[in-house]
């Protein structure tokens, strides 16, 4: 009897565990529906092509849960999921920029004369290269250095920056520079206006701003000038930074204000409200004539540790009627939370709170128009797993001939509410019925073992009595 009860007990336990595992493993995963997501935007396009592409709006980044944008889907009018893929556009050149020396010629003129009013004699060789330049103006006490003419006719690549070295760079200097371009020395186009230049030493820190960036261009000649009231710039050398084969794409900018960290002087936190694919960060100081050293940190989640991004010199200066601000900080991460730690030597940045501008380039959503329109992009869910669409072999790669399968443009409409903000919150924990079954089996086991022990004792007593 005891053997039969034991066999029955172990058989019952095995069946219960097998049923529990099978029900959990074989439970079919229901396909997602639009109501599983918090929000959506309509996908608007013309025609009936197979492939379309739209740029993700800021609202998608602000209302997705996953940093990899895995909680979004494209639905057709029937509520069916259609294949999609996300791509980041080409952001910069594939080849590294290289420097190139430029020949430069000083432009002398009267103190109150602009560059366009100077009479200049120019000598060129048969290749068009400048070999001499001189002013027709008679020497006078009022004559001054008004600017420089640069010869870039020998360069075969586009120029994206100039690096200047002036003779008095060890002395304190703050100024601005205007750069113009021309191919005939008659018609000039402004390339960069009031670009900041600086060489300062203060409180043991050194600020040296000698580089001027501008959109890549190819021109034979460049002209440099500065405001008449500004100190003359005595150049020692100048080099051009030659661009690669591609030009940087335009960025979108998202601006947020910082908040001071409690009990930590000089620390300010920034919440972008989204995990954006950042390329540039711009810090704006609250007060004019401020120069500080600062360290920038970032993290993806509030519970993560801070990770250092850069150590920079930040400044906001006013000189000769012009405002000079620190250059942007190049970054390559999609963190939402940022921290600026300002050194408190020499008073820090004073009162006020800095602001941060985040420069980012949105993903391109490429999708297949299976089914009927309208199509919509649904996003924001704490329960949806990333999609596994294999579209790489279908969609043409960047730069590839797209004649056979061309991707047509699409736009996104205004955001609409689907499941609402509740879809962004973690789901309520499921009932631990498997754990309950295991505890029930354990309890029954204890009771059955106790009953078996009781029966065994009774049998032993009966056996002893029978012997007597």
pLDDT higher than threshold 60 for residue 130: no
C-alpha 186/C-alpha 189 separation (Å) is 10
Q: What is the pLDDT of residue 17?
A: 58
pLDDT band at 169 (very low <50, low <70, confident <90, very high): low
Per-residue pLDDT of 364-422, as tens digits, reads 999 999 999 999 999 999 988 887 776 655 555 555 554 557 889 999 999 999 999 99
Residue 356's CB: how many other CB atoms inside 10 A? 22
DSSP SS3 for 113? coil
Query: Helix or strand or coil: residue 358?
Result: strand
Alpha-carbon span 273 to 104, nearest angstrom: 48
pLDDT confidence of residue 340: 96
CA distances from 442 to 9, 183, 236, 383, 455 (A): 11, 90, 87, 33, 20
From the list 90, 92, 74, 88, the residue with the least C-alpha distance to 33 is: 74
- Regarding predicted confidence, which is higher, 41 or 88? 41
Q: pLDDT tens digits for 442-461?
A: 777 777 777 777 777 777 76
**pTM of this prediction?**
0.62
The average pLDDT across 122-145 equals 59
325 half-sphere exposure, CB direction, 13 A CA radius = 12
Please state, in angstroms and rounded to a whole number, the distance separating the CA atoms of residues 116 and 187: 10
User: Which residue, chain included where needed, has tokens 């360069």?
Assistant: 155
Give the residue-averaged pLDDT of 59-72: 92
Least confident of 225-239, 285-299, 356-370: 225-239
pLDDT in tens, 289-344: 988 999 999 999 999 999 999 999 899 988 777 788 888 999 999 999 999 999 98
């Amino acid at each position: 009897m005891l053997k039969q009860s034991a066999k029955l007990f172990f058989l019952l336990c095995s069946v219960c565990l097998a049923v529990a595992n099978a029900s959990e493993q074989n439970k079919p995963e229901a396909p997602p529906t639009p109501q599983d997501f918090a929000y959506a935007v309509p996908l608007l396009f013309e025609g009936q092509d197979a492939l379309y592409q739209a740029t993700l709006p800021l609202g998608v980044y602000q209302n997705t849960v996953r940093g990899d944008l895995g909680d979004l889907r494209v639905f057709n009018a029937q509520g069916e999921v259609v294949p999609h893929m996300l791509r980041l556009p080409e952001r910069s050149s594939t080849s590294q920029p290289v420097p190139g020396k430029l020949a430069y010629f000083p432009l002398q003129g009267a103190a109150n004369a602009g560059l366009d009013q100077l009479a200049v004699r120019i000598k060129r060789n048969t290749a068009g290269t400048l070999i001499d330049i001189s002013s027709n103006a008679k020497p006078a006490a009022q004559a001054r250095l008004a600017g420089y003419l640069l010869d870039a006719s020998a360069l075969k690549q586009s120029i994206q920056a100039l690096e200047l070295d002036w003779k008095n760079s060890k002395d304190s200097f703050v100024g601005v520079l205007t750069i113009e371009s021309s191919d005939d020395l008659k018609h000039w186009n402004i390339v960069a206006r009031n670009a900041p230049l600086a060489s300062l030493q203060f409180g043991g820190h050194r600020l040296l701003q000698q580089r001027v960036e501008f959109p890549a261009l190819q021109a034979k000649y460049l002209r440099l000038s500065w405001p008449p009231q500004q100190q003359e710039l005595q150049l020692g050398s100048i080099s051009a930074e030659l661009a690669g084969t591609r030009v940087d794409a335009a960025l979108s900018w998202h601006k947020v204000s910082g908040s001071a960290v409690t009990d930590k002087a000089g620390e300010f936190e920034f919440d972008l409200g989204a995990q954006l694919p950042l390329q540039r960060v711009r810090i704006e100081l609250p007060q004019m004539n401020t120069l500080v050293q600062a360290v920038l940190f970032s993290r993806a989640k509030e519970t993560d540790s801070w990770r250092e991004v850069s150590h920079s010199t930040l400044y906001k200066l006013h000189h000769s009627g012009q405002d000079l601000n620190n250059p942007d900080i190049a970054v390559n991460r999609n963190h939402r939370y940022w921290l600026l730690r300002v050194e408190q030597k020499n008073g820090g940045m004073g009162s006020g709170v800095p602001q941060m501008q985040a420069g980012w380039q949105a993903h391109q959503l490429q999708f297949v128009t299976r089914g009927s329109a309208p199509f919509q992009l649904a996003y924001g869910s704490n329960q949806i797993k990333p999609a596994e669409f294999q579209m790489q072999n279908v969609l043409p790669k960047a730069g590839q001939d797209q004649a056979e399968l061309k991707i047509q443009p699409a736009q996104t409409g205004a955001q609409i509410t689907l499941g609402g903000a509740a879809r962004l919150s973690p789901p309520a924990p499921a009932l631990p019925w498997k754990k309950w079954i295991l505890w029930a089996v354990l309890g029954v086991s204890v009771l059955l073992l106790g009953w078996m022990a009781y029966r065994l004792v009774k049998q032993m007593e009966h056996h002893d009595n029978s012997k007597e």
